[in-house]
Amino acid sequence: MFDSRHIKTFHAVVAAGSYSAAARALGYTQPAITQQMKALERAVGTPLFTRVGRRMRLTEAGEALARHAETILDTLSVAQQQMSSLTRLRSGRVRMCAFPSAGATLVPEALARLAADHPGVRVELLEGEPPESLRRLERGEFDIALAFTYPGLHDEVPDELVEIPLLEDQLTVLMPAGHPLARRRAVALADLAEERWIAGCLRCRTNFLHECTQVGFAPDIAFTTDDILVVQSLVAEGLGVAMMPGLVLSFLRHDRITGRPLDPASRRQVSAYVLRDHLRVPATALVLDELKAAAKRRAGCC
C-alpha cells in the first residue's frame, strides 16, 4: 500500500514542519516533495495535511500515520541491514542433512573452512539416510541433503531437486586384521561367501545383497546395524566382516581392523542435493562450494 520512500519523506515533512524545510533536509526540490505527498495521500485515500493560514497541520489520518512512520522506517532499516549481512555472507543459516560417513568426513572438513572464512554463517547439521532424507528435503525441512546412490539402485531425482555430484566412494570390506585375506591388496566378494556378515542401512544392505547375488551366493547376515562404531567393534571381535564405504577408512578406531577394496572395484556416488531455488541463496551456495572443495581433496573425486 505504501512506498517506503514516501513514508521517509512524510516523516521528514512532519519533523521539519513544512515541505520547503523537508526539501532542504533531504536535498530534494519542493515540487518533488509535493508530488510524493500527493502520491502518498492517493495511496492512503485521504488527506494527510491541512493548511491553517500559512502553517501545515496534520489531519487525523496524518497523525495516525505519523505515530507509525518512525517504527516503519526503523523496521525497514533493520531489514535492510539483515539483508545486507545475508547477501555479503556476514550471517546466514543453512540446514544440512548428512548420512553418517559423510557427516564424519566431508562435513567437518567443509565446515572448518567455512567457519574460518565466514564465521557468521551458521550450519545446523542433522543426520539422515537416503531416500528419506531426499523426501524431507523436498518438504523443506532442510536446505542441503548429502546422499548416495549405487549404480544398480539409482533413484529418480525429483524435478524440484538439483543433484551436485561430489565423489565416487570405493566400497571396501572390513575384516579382522589377522584375517587370511587381509594380506591381499584387494579382495573378491566371492572369496568371502562363507563368512558371517554385518549389514548396514537399508540402502547399503539392498546393494550388498544385489552384489552377492551377482557373484553367486546368499550372504549369512548375522548382525544388522546402522552404527558404524558398532560395526567396527563387531569386526574387531571377529564376529563377522562388513562391506562398507571407503569414507569409513578415514575414521577407523580399532587397530584390530583392516579394510580392503573390492576387486573388481565397486563404488557408490556421493552427491549433494538442494532445492533448485536455493541455489541462489548465498549461504547455501557457499556451503555447497565448501563441500565440493572437501570432496576434491579426497582420492577418487569425480
pLDDT of the residue at 299: 55
The amino acid sitting at 36 is Q
Q: In the block, which residue shows the cell 541462489?
A: 280
Q: Where are the beta strands (DSSP E) in the chain?
A: 49-52, 55-58, 92-98, 121-127, 144-149, 161-176, 196-199, 220-224, 242-245, 257-261, 267-275
Q: 154 is written with which cell numbers? A: 539409482
Q: Are 260 and 252 in contact (CB under 8 A)?
A: no
- Residues (pLDDT < 70) of the chain are 1, 53-54, 77-91, 154, 299-302
Distances (CA, A) of 165 to 122, 147, 271, 273: 23, 10, 4, 9
The amino acid sitting at 293 is A
What pairs with residue 171 in β-bridges?
245
Q: How does pLDDT run across 130-169, given as a tens digit for each residue?
A: 989 999 998 889 999 999 999 877 677 888 899 999 999 9
Mean per-residue pLDDT over the chain, rounded:
88
Q: How does pLDDT run across 192-236, given as a tens digit for each residue?
A: 999 999 998 888 999 999 999 999 999 999 999 988 889 999 999
